[in-house]
């Protein structure tokens, strides 16, 4: 192959990959800002809830929800340890209440019942 051709492939390839993913960063940031704005507007309408004053602490218990379905038990143990550690530092007792895997199954059973009522 012509070295110039190789160089063109490499540079344009890298540029486009970065360009594409930077566009996605922008899009996600815009989306996040919009949702923050919506939430902000809603909060103004509600009277401020004193318990919700520390937004960085509250979301933690829901952290396990972001665990991908594919975690095996080893990882779950790691997560549990991590959450426990976080919990200690914030002075709250946190525990894993549910791993997505289970939710999926039980909700699936319910969903099947529901969806079958109007499938095709």
Partner 1 sequence: MIQIFLDTLADLARSSGLAALQWQNAVMILISFVFMYLAIKKGFEPLLLLPIAFGMLLTNLPLTEMYHPELWNIDEGAELDFGRILHEGGLIDYLYIGVKLQIYPALIFLGIGCMTDFAPLIANPKSFLLGAAAQAGIFLTFIGAAALGFNANEAGSIAIIGGADGPTSIYVSSKLLNAGGYEVEVGTIALAAYTYMALVPLIQPPIMRALTTKKERLVRMEQLRTVSKTEKIIFPIAVTVIIALLVPSAAPLVGMLMLGNLFKESGCVDRLSKTAQNELMNIITIFLGISVGATTVASKIISVAFLKVILLGVVAFAVGSASGVLFAKLMYLVTGGKVNPLIGSAGVSAVPMAARVSQKVGAEEDPTNFLLMHAMGPNVAGVIGSAVAAGVLLSIIPH
Contacts of 89 (CB under 8 A, 6+ apart): none
Q: How far is the CB of 83 from a second copy (least distance, A)?
A: 19
Distances (CA, A) of 117 to 36, 109, 114: 37, 13, 6
Q: How far is the CB of 54 from partner 1 (least distance, A)?
A: 12
Q: How far is the CB of 83 from partner 1 (least distance, A)?
A: 8
* Cα(21)–Cα(16) distance, integer angstroms: 8
Binding residues (CB under 8 A) for partner 1: these are 1, 3-25, 27-29, 31-32, 35, 56, 59-60, 62-63, 65-71, 75, 78-79, 81-82, 85-86, 100, 104, 107-108, 111-112, 115-120
Phi-psi region of 54 (alpha: psi -120 to 50; beta: other; left: phi over 0): beta
Q: Which of the listed partners (a second copy, partner 1, none) does 17 bind, with a CB threshold of 5 to 8 Å by partner kind?
A: partner 1
Q: Which two tokens stand for residue 107?
A: 């909700």
Q: Which of the listed partners (partner 1, a second copy, none) does 113 bind, with a CB threshold of 5 to 8 Å by partner kind?
A: a second copy
Residue pair 79/96 in contact (Cβ under 8 Å)? The answer is: yes
Binding residues (CB under 8 A) for a second copy: these are 69-73, 75, 101, 113-114, 116-119
Q: How far is the CB of 38 from a second copy (least distance, A)?
A: 31
């Amino acid at each position: 192959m012509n070295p110039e051709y190789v160089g063109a492939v490499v540079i344009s390839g890298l540029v486009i990959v970065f360009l594409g993913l930077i566009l996605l960063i922008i899009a996600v940031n815009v989306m996040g800002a919009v949702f923050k704005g919506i939430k902000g507007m809603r909060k103004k309408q509600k009277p401020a809830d004193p318990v919700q004053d520390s937004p960085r602490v509250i979301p933690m218990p829901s952290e396990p929800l972001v665990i991908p379905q594919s975690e095996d038990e080893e990882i779950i143990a790691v997560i549990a340890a991590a959450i426990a550690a976080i919990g200690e530092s914030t002075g709250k007792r946190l525990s894993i209440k549910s791993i997505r895997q289970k939710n999926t199954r039980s909700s699936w059973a319910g969903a099947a019942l529901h969806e079958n009522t109007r499938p095709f």
